[in-house]
Structure 1
Amino acid sequence: MNVPDDVEDLLRQLAPQVLGMLARRWGDFDAAEDAVQEALLAAAQRWSADGVPAQPRGWLLQTASRRMVDRWRSDVARRSRELHAATEPASGGAAQDDDTLTVLFLCCHPVLTPPSAIALTLRAVGGLTTAEIARAFLVPEPTMAQRISRAKQRVAGERFSMPAPDEHPARLRSVLRVLYLMFNEGYTSSAGSDLTRADLSDEAIRIARLLYAAEDDAEVAGLLALMLLTDARRPARTDESGAPVPLADQDRSRWDRPRIAEGTALLDAAFGRATVGEYQLQAAIAAIHDRAPTADATDWSQILALYGLLERMTGNPVVTLNRAVAAAMVDGPAAGLAILDGVDDALPRVDQLRAYLHERAGETDLALAHYRRAAGRAINVAERRYLEAQVARLS
């Protein structure tokens, strides 16, 4: 079914609002989420044909409420509760509140694994169907349905409300982590052959905008800036055949300049407001790349210093890989290879990086061996083809 873009955008905006109303009124997040999904499907079909009603949120709420009533009628033990909920006015005070953030914080609850939290967030906050999420993650629909069902069961007993003030910072970090992983899941796959997964990064940016509008937090601003500054390069990340294009070789005229301007403005405003966090540091590194008119004009010394700070802050081995690249650009390939000596060879793309640095050092045989190993461990077809092309070139 072809749904107009304006209808799809409206449904995604209204989905968490209606879900919040139902969950708050009925006290059953699992059943409310299923009812909202059914209402969204009905709305997509009806509104695409007849147009958007005058009160779209009320239409969705009424339709989803009817689904809830139908479900609860079969449970005799809950008849009294059903009667109370069904007769409560839809225009009641709390029901008009926008519970989007409450739903987001619940979907990103620390009790959930990151994959489960991402899937539940995409469904409950993003309004995506189970089939759409399954396609994005390249898994069968029944598998994704089971993952989402288990996630809903895990959070079913949690209080449907925003975290208490003392819990809020930790829960906010959990939300930021889920959105960061969601963005990366989409962005890293956008250089491959599956375009559906690239939509995950768009959805992460959309939800991050909602969070930024409601949270006066420098790290929220930093994460949104990082997403925008990174995603701005997406148009130049692949060539006409879909093969990945290294950052140094990208056509910078194809980068999204308005998105870069928005990201740098967010970052500049965030710095100085509070202690600098990891997302602000990553955004600062992305901004240095985006501001450089050419690859040769990149301030690698500043990038190396920022990666050093980020590594000490996070202890993340992926940051160490990036610091090795920066060290090689500043002090030569031997400096980068020395850093890689202490890195786990099982990390993704470590062989590709070793190959690149050995080639820069003139060690062709070692570079060839690592390119071959990297090609055998590639995560998608486009990446494997790129690495195989490097093997052919050096051979």
Structure 2
Amino acid sequence: MSFGGGGSGALPNHEHTNIALDGGPLDFVNTTIASLTANSMTFSDGAALQELNIGLDAQVLGVSGGAPTWITNTSNPLVKVTKTFADISTQEIDIYTLPADAALCNVYADITTVFDVSTSVTIGDAGDEDGFAQAVDFTASTGLTDAVRGAYITSFKTMRSTSGTTDIKAYLAGAPTALTKDTQAHSESAAAGTTITESGFTVANNANRILIVCAGVQSSTQTISGVTWNGVENFTRAVFSDGTGGNRAEIWYLVAPTATTADVVTTWGTSVDRKGSGVYSFYNAAQTTPIGVTDTDLGLSLTSTGTITPTTTGSLIVDCELGDPLLPPTDTLTAGWSAGLTAIKSFASQYDLTPTISASNNMFYTYAINTNWCWCGVELKTATAAQDTQGAVDFYLQVVD
């Protein structure tokens, strides 16, 4: 038997590939010579190898009917993220981790259950600076309600991750519980002594209680050594002002006073005359850091010029004034008290339950004559806003590389 020459009865040339077939990655059972069209590729349909031509430049490899196919690329597809009120942690929700060098262009929302206390939502990365750049916060005017179903959360602004990944968050602003004044009292004295007492003052059993004492004396060197409630509960000084003409005004506070009827006692370090002290009882106040911005002022004029700029939504402002004239001054806000006794000169306090936030609020007093006066004021912050008890939303994020 001949193996060459190609003559009658001769076998054809036998070829061996230089790659393993049996047991190789494709697990060929039999060796078969095949060819592929230029610019094509193979895939298995489970029964045999199939050929798939390479698609166009504008296409990407997709799947249709369980088989690979070339499809037109969808520009900037939306990423769907589903969240509920249970995902809220301290008024924020983690939504998405933006990859490095990617950009978040648009955010839409489909509200499936309305959030019950949310008044607005902001999309951003506040508190996570990881290379993230944004023009302005995404902020909705109407919040997570039916009014924004299927609409933009925000005005369009592109946000991008310039290094590393960036956590995208939704910040839910709940409507804070309004601070409320429960009751108040004040006294003045011309008699020499170290104390003024508000006897039989009642603090009701309201949530998040706080007492604010405003006190003044006609002597800038005579300071308050302490203020007590119910005999054993001690106040903390928030602010004081030493004024022209030897006047001094101070504001003190006590968080979570016992709900009872008792005395408020203001004590000076030495015996003083021409003194006054007053107390407010508020509730729905912050219990950890209740005092926000403080300010002081003094002068010689017909009108005092004390102002304060609160920074926390839901805060109130309250002040204390001491001046020279015998007649009580005219205040510009809600009067707490305004005394004009010969014994103590002018002693006054006023408050505003709804001041303008992040803007200067005038807390002026007008006198009958040019007056030496001193003034101090504080911002009292509201308790933390209640969390949502219902709400579900689908976020749709447009993310591009």
Report the structure number with the largest CA radius of gyration.
2
Q: Give the structure with the larger strand fraction.
A: 2
Higher normalized helix content (fraction of residues) = 1
Structure scoring higher RCO (CA < 8 A, sep ≥ 6) equals: 2
